[in-house]
Chains A and B, each alone.
Chain A
Amino acid sequence: MRAFLAEGGFETHCDAWLSGHDPEFSRRLAERGWVGMTWPKRYGGQERSQLERYAVLEELLAAGAPVAAHWIADRQTGPLLLHYGTEAQRQEFLPAMARGECFFGIGMSEPDAGSDLASVRTTARRVEGGWLLNGTKVWTSHAHRSHFMITLVRTSALGEDRHQGLSQLVVDLRGPGVSVRPIELLTGEPHFNEVVFQDALVPEERLVGAEGDGWRQVTSELAYERSGPERFLSTFPLLVETVRELGPDPGEAGARALGALYGRLSALRGLSMDVARRLEAGEAPNLEAALVKDLGTRFEREVVETARLLVPPDSAGEAFQRLYRQAVAHAPGFTLRGGTNEILRGIVARGLGR
């Protein structure tokens, strides 16, 4: 893996797991068997363990490699289909995902449903031959260059329990009645999208899992989504350049600040790996996963703040300056994506008493 990364072919970036979109790199990675690596061989996987996958992810993140194109499919849509999908769906999507040729977006948020996911209003009505979708999804990373979107929709009217009547559908982003409008980040990079459905017909067989079971399925994805090493390594490339700028004798204050970050990183890594082990054992450590995301994303931002106070950005080397600018401009997203930290802390607090 390190030899592969040392060969390069990419520029190290902060936050590259979500913003470094490079289909060619994803394909090269897939050729080596590093996409969908835990999946069964009959679906194009390598049947490796979750912890082996964890080690591969860490190496990619530490190197700031552009893995965003396949990240969602590899991290959550693939496992979701393995768990809830039909045999035909697995056959259709998993091998293509594992070849790094089929990219997915996440269709959860809507204009009026951000942290409050259960209030989604996009509807899917059963019609002859499939589902007719109407509504709008938003903040979908890379929808403009992905093939499909796993989409949370309301398949029956809103009743007493808001968590009932939701379902997940695989939507072809180039299908009829689907329009995708890119939304630039504050840096000007195309990243988010608004995806509008106007009588979009989705074939019957694209329903994932059971009709009405969408909420349970979505929440089962979240432990994977929140606890991985991408939740504390987004700014690791900047930390590397900070160490380089400080040199072998960082002085008392420099050493203290570096050591504090290192200690935090080391503990976060332990906690995140612990969640990975428990997921592999079939447990549902949702509370711990939420903690990893809260603590890890705050650490990512702490790296940026420490770096700028230790190394005056104006006088630093080119690599530091470039990574520092990326980190500052991307930092607002760290504590928003995957559920805002405030909402996650609410989930943790409510879980504590039980």
Chain B
Amino acid sequence: MSEERRLLVETAHQVFGRPGVDAWREVDKAGLADLGTDADLADVAAVIRVSAYEGTDIDFAERVMPELGDPQRRGALMRAIQIVGALERVRDLTVAYAAERRQFGQPLNRFQAVQQMLAELAGEVALAATAVETAVADPLSAKLVASAKVAAGGAAGRGATIAHQVHGAIGFTHEHQLHRWTTKLWAWRDEFGTESAWAEALGDLVARAGADRLWEVVTGE
């Protein structure tokens, strides 16, 4: 990450981390509100990701995400970015909870069965993050955006399931904060095309290219 983007992300964490009475004014004051018009997409995506991580209730992503020609593709990429941000928070909450909650005389993260789940959660997040970053670098590629929504949508469902399983009953309550992110994950994975809709488009593309060109399609030639 460039130094500039690191600063931008830091600012975003501060602004979205303490929602004011007038959240937009805070966002505006920090110079994040008009991000879409004068920044490259990777910067915009980094800030959208932070806004999802911090669980902001304002429709920040919708306001700053630039047009990409096709509204469905724009929406899918936007939701995929948000899913990654929310998943990173869900992962952090779950890792922290598994370290502090004790049962049978030891923290949950000492149980191998729980370790397996934590690793799977981390893997899904890493995979979705990579797919999204690749798509953000080339957002006009239908193939890359489709791959990002497929990866993010799958990771959203699996990630939320693991997070709730590890959190136990408390995570299933309204008073616990986990639902602020998991309910969004459930909504975002369905919006602008589910995994299966985007997978079908990808599969058609692969089939039309044919067996002998499969590798070229994978490497993006």
Would you call B199 and A263 a contact (CB within 8 A)?
yes
Question: Is A268 on the interface with B (CB-CB < 8 A)?
Answer: yes
Question: Is A279 on the interface with B (CB-CB < 8 A)?
Answer: no
Residue of A whose beta carbon sits closest to that of B144: A266
A257 to B195, CA, bound (A): 11
Interface-lining segment among B6-14, B58-66, B127-135 = B127-135
> Which chain A positions have C-beta within 8 A of B122?
287, 291, 348-349, 352
Would you call B199 and A266 a contact (CB within 8 A)?
no
Interface-lining segment among B15-23, B26-34, B169-177, B203-211 = B203-211
Interface-lining segment among A83-91, A128-136, A245-253 = A245-253
> Which chain B positions have C-beta within 8 A of A176?
none
Q: Which of the residues B127, B133, B202, B207 comes within 8 Å of A295, measured between beta carbons?
A: B127
Would you call A258 and B203 a contact (CB within 8 A)?
yes
Would you call A349 and B126 a contact (CB within 8 A)?
no
A350 to B41, CA, bound (A): 34
Q: Which of the residues B91, B130, B203 comes within 8 Å of A256, measured between beta carbons?
A: B203
Encoded as 1 (CB less than 8 Å from any A CB) or 0, chain B from 98 to 142 comes to 010000000001001011101110110011101101100000000
With contacts A241-B211, A259-B150 taken as known, whether A349 is within 8 angstroms of B204 at the C-beta atoms is no
Interface residues in B, total, Cβ within 8 A: 48
> Which chain A positions have C-beta within 8 A of B219?
58
Residue of B whose beta carbon sits closest to that of A299: B127
Interface-lining segment among A108-116, A140-148, A194-202, A269-277 = A269-277
Would you call A345 and B115 a contact (CB within 8 A)?
yes
Interface centre among B114, B122, B144, B198 (most CB of A within 10 A): B122
With contacts A348-B118, A349-B115 taken as known, whether A263 is within 8 angstroms of B123 at the C-beta atoms is no
Chain A contact residues, CB within 8 Å of chain B: 58-59, 62, 236, 239-241, 243-244, 246-250, 252, 254-260, 262-271, 274, 287-288, 291, 294-295, 342, 344-346, 348-350, 352-353
Given contacts A243-B211, A266-B134, 14 further A-B contacts (CB under 8 A): A239-B214, A241-B211, A250-B207, A256-B196, A260-B202, A262-B217, A263-B146, A266-B131, A266-B218, A267-B134, A270-B131, A345-B118, A353-B95, A353-B96
Give me 20 A-to-B residue pairs in the complex whose CB atoms sit less than 8 angstroms apart, sorted by A's number.
A59-B215, A239-B214, A240-B215, A243-B206, A250-B207, A255-B199, A255-B200, A257-B203, A259-B202, A260-B195, A260-B196, A260-B199, A260-B202, A262-B199, A266-B218, A267-B147, A271-B126, A295-B123, A345-B116, A352-B118
